[in-house]
Structures are given as structure tokens and as C-alpha cells.
Structure 1
């Protein structure tokens, strides 16, 4: 019984971490938007790539694909240096 409770608790914590990440997507998008509004010195290629990654991240977030959203958004942040 005690082992079952531990396993159940671990599963609940794993599920909660997924929900926490799902709610972080908007914060990542805000950080990208704030950096873009400061007109960073980016090559035209990197600027286009960041814009596309940001849009992809938002689309994935709205579709409930939060892992993909975070991957896109974090890649955009890396290019922006944040």
C-alpha cells in the first residue's frame, strides 16, 4: 500500500510539471517579444528565423503541443541571446 502511494505521488508530480510548462509558454513568448521590440542586431536570416520560431511556438501552444512550443521558443531565445 505504501509503495502504491509513493508511485501515485510521483505520477501526480510528473503530471503537474507538464501543466507548469504549458503555462510557461506565454512567458517565453513575452520575453521574445520584449527582446524583439528593442530592435536587436540580427542578420535578416536570424530575424526571419526568430519570427518563425516565435509564431510556431504560439501555434504549438494553442494546439496543446507544449513540448514542441517550448522547443521552438527556447531556440528563438537562444538566437536572441536571452
Structure 2
């Protein structure tokens, strides 16, 4: 019984941490938007890539695909030097 409780507790904690991570998508989008509002010096290609990654991140977030959303948003932040 004790082993079962330990396993159940670990599963609940893992699930909770995933939910917290999923809700960070909007904060990442806000950070990208704030950086873009400063008109960073980017090549035309990089600017287009950041815009696409930002849009993809939002679409993934709305679809409930938070891992994919964070991947896109973090790649956009990397290009922006964040």
C-alpha cells in the first residue's frame, strides 16, 4: 500500500508540473511581443521566422498542444536573443 501511495503521489506531482508549464505559453508570447515592439534589428528572414514561430506557438497553445507551443516560442526567443 505504501508503495502504491508513493507512485500515485509522484504521478500527481508530475501532472501538476506539466500543467504549470503549459500555462506559461501566454507569458512567453507576451515576452516575444514586448521584444518585437522594440523593433529589434533582425534580417528579413529572421523577422519572418520569428513571426511564424510566434503564430505557431499561439495556435499550438489554443489547440492544447503546449509542448509544441513552448518549442516554437522558445525558438523564437532564441532568434530574438532572449
TM bucket by the smaller chain?
Answer: over 0.9
Q: Which structure 1 segments of 5+ residues have no match?
A: none
Instruction: Indicate the SS of the match to 2:76.
Output: helix
The answer for the alignment partner of 1:67 in structure 2 is 67
Task: Tell me whether 1:52 sits opposite 2:22 in the alignment.
Answer: no
Task: Tell me whether 1:81 sits opposite 2:81 in the alignment.
Answer: yes
Deviations 1:56-82 (A, max 9, x none): 000000000000000000000000011
Aligned residues: 82
RMSD: 0.4
The answer for the alignment partner of 1:21 in structure 2 is 21
Tell me which stretches of 4 or more aligned residues in structure 1 moved more than 3 Å.
none
Distance in 2 separating the partners of 1:43 and 1:64: 31
Q: Which structure 2 segments of 5+ residues have no match?
A: none
